[in-house]
């Protein structure tokens, strides 16, 4: 019977990411914050159209699309979605047409949010943009994107829909099953032990993929997900479902237990894509002391959680923060980031 790693190697994959990405020490913040030592996994450096974690995930989606002879990539996400922007870039890289649906999840958005950052990049990358005005409605947005796919088929196109909701094969999570191997290998070479890995937890692909991959390798490193879209109860159900789906996809038994699913939601604030004071402070600290640029939607909130967790531990512990990118989002929030001290 094939192992999970053997099964993984046989799945279609389109190379997009510059890997391995580096692991770096954050010496200045480690001293300033106190508690656990801080390291960062620089997945903001994956290279595809300003990088980020989505490059790893899209390798398996685009590989699957190409294996099915698709000529169009179709995806839905928030107006400033990094996944959508990366999908548009991946499509351009492989000569595919791209249609994107932008969901109006942030109701108080200004003109800067609606026109800069990832929205600007989507236009530069040549994507056709559709709007979904009903906001935070995952099932409705998914239904609408499949309706767009049906229209494209009547026009003779061969669309491939990238599904992000649970219930679909989580091909994107496989990128982080692979990343788990990369991290373990790097830490071994560095002779560096890690107490915990901290990562933003949204769609669940990155969080679940890392956790599943670590346990599949026999690693007991704790993974802490910082919620950026829904509360910890709802997110735990999502991560559990993702891990089960990965297990089915790779045809191996999951070693992830309920006790392995660790989440915190106190940095979620008013909701998805809405900036709050702890996030703003974390973004400024990272920039001022380490020249590390974080975004307000994902990495800023996750790093706020990472800093708090570091202060709860002592100097013998070490945290590894996974920087999942999101750089274009910085420009969409403009003056909001500069408010306060």
Burial bucket for residue 95 (CB in 10 Å: 0-12, 13-18, 19+): exposed
Residue 147, preceding peptide bond in cis (omega within 30° of 0): no
Tokens of 219: 């690693």
Query: What residue spans of 68-221 are helical by DSSP H?
Result: 82-93, 111-115, 118-124, 138-154, 171-190, 205-216
Confirm if 223 and 211 have CB atoms less than 8 A apart.
yes
Q: In angstroms, rounded to a whole number, what is the distance separating the alpha carbons of residues 241 and 50? A: 30
Inter-residue contact 169 to 245 (CB < 8 Å): yes
Out of 3, 30, 81, 254, the active site residue is 81
116 in catalytic set: no
Please name every residue paired with 290 in a beta bridge, in sequence order, or none if there are none: none
Residue 99 backbone dihedrals phi, psi, to 5 degrees: -115, 130
**Which residues are catalytic, by number?**
81
């Amino acid at each position: 019977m094939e192992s999970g790693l053997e099964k993984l190697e046989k799945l279609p994959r389109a190379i997009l990411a510059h890997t391995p990405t580096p692991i770096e020490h954050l010496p200045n913040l480690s001293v300033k914050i106190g508690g656990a030592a801080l390291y960062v996994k620089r997945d903001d450096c994956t290279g595809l159209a300003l990088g980020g974690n989505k490059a790893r995930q899209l390798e398996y989606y685009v590989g699957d699309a190409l294996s099915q002879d698709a000529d169009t990539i179709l995806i839905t996400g928030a107006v400033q979605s990094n996944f959508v922007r990366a999908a548009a870039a991946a499509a351009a890289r492989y000569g595919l047409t791209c249609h994107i649906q932008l969901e109006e999840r942030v109701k108080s958005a200004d003109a800067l949010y609606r026109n800069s950052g990832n929205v600007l990049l989507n236009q530069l990358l040549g994507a056709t943009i559709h709007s979904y005005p009903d906001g935070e409605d995952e099932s409705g947005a998914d239904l609408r994107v499949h309706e767009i796919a049906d229209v494209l088929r009547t026009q003779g196109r061969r669309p491939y829909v990238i599904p992000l909701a649970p219930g679909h094969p989580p091909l994107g999570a496989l990128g982080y099953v692979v990343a788990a191997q990369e991290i373990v290998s790097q830490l071994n070479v560095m002779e560096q032990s890690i107490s915990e890995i901290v990562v933003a937890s949204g769609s669940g692909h990155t969080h679940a993929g890392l956790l599943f991959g670590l346990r599949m390798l026999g690693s007991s490193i704790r993974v802490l997900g910082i919620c950026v879209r829904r509360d910890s109860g709802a997110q735990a159900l999502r991560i559990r479902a993702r891990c089960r789906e990965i297990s089915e996809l790779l045809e191996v038994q999951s070693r992830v237990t309920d006790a392995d699913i660790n989440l915190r939601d106190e940095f979620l604030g008013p909701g998805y894509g809405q900036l709050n004071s702890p996030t703003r402070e974390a973004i400024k600290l990272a920039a001022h002391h380490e020249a590390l640029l974080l975004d307000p939607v994902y990495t800023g909130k996750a790093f706020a959680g990472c800093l708090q967790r570091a202060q709860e531990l002592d100097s013998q512990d070490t945290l590894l923060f996974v920087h999942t990118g999101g750089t274009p989002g910085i420009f969409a929030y403009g003056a909001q980031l500069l408010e306060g001290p």
